Chains A and B, each alone.
Chain A
Amino acid sequence: GQNIDQPTEMTATEGAIVQINCTYQTSGFNGLFWYQQHAGEAPTFLSYNVLDGLEEKGRFSSFLSRSKGYSYLLLKELQMKDSASYLCAVRDSNYQLIWGAGTKLIIKP
């Protein structure tokens, strides 16, 4: 079967750095996506990785290792507005997105 694992919840301090991990087992791989979802709102696209390595976008970076079935989302200089759930999704061989359950990130002052 297909499976994506993320921690359920993480807590970090404003101004700090946090790393959210995602491991996956899917039938085929055609890219990995990270989304941000604030409470009560729809998910919004954050980042995309298809090759191994680090993709940087401002305060957010995403890393992929295809051989390990592993990705992480790195958030730097945390702000209170970063409190949200972060969803990892993998596009499989049928080009469908397989979704993790999401990691709820709590930022404390």
Chain B
Amino acid sequence: SQTIHQWPATLVQPVGSPLSLECTVEGTSNPNLYWYRQAAGRGLQLLFYSVGIGQISSEVPQNLSASRPQDRQFILSSKKLLLSDSGFYLCAWGPLGEGQETQYFGPGTRLLVL
């Protein structure tokens, strides 16, 4: 069965510091991978998605970036965090879907920028 891991679970960072969040998937090959952000009490905002190694699509211009160095690894980064970067960051995986195939989420990272 497939599992998805994210770390760290929580993170408190000062404004202007760098960020690196990691996501890995087990039990599947060549998944589509996604980074979402969820502000408190709000819906999911798609940040990046990737259909393969080195292939990244950005949905929202911002000071964040993503990389996919390996098939089942997806990294979210920032060189300098802003207060507005605080939120719940969710990594998801899914096949390019027809039918009931949908996206499955990791446990999330709660980021607080002070």
Q: Which residues of A contact B (CB under 8 A)?
A: 30-31, 33, 40-45, 48, 50, 87, 91, 95-97, 99-102, 104
Contacts and interface: CB of A to CB of B under 8 A. Distances in A.
18 contacts: A31-B100, A31-B102, A40-B110, A41-B107, A42-B90, A42-B105, A42-B107, A43-B90, A44-B105, A45-B104, A48-B100, A95-B96, A96-B49, A99-B44, A99-B46, A101-B43, A102-B42, A104-B41
B46 A96 contact: yes
Contact of B43 (A40, A95, A99): A99
Nearest to B41: A104
A87 B46 CA distance: 14
Counting chain A CB atoms within 10 Å of each CB, which of B90, B103, B104 scores highest? B103
A32 to B, nearest CB: 10
B87 interface: no
B61 interface: no
Contacts of B42: 101-102
Given A95-B97, A96-B46, A48 B102 contact: yes
B55 to A, nearest CB: 15
B106 interface: yes
Interface in B80-114: 90, 96-100, 102-108, 110
Contact of A33 (B96, B98, B102, B106): B102
Contacts of B46: 96-97, 99
B43 A87 contact: yes
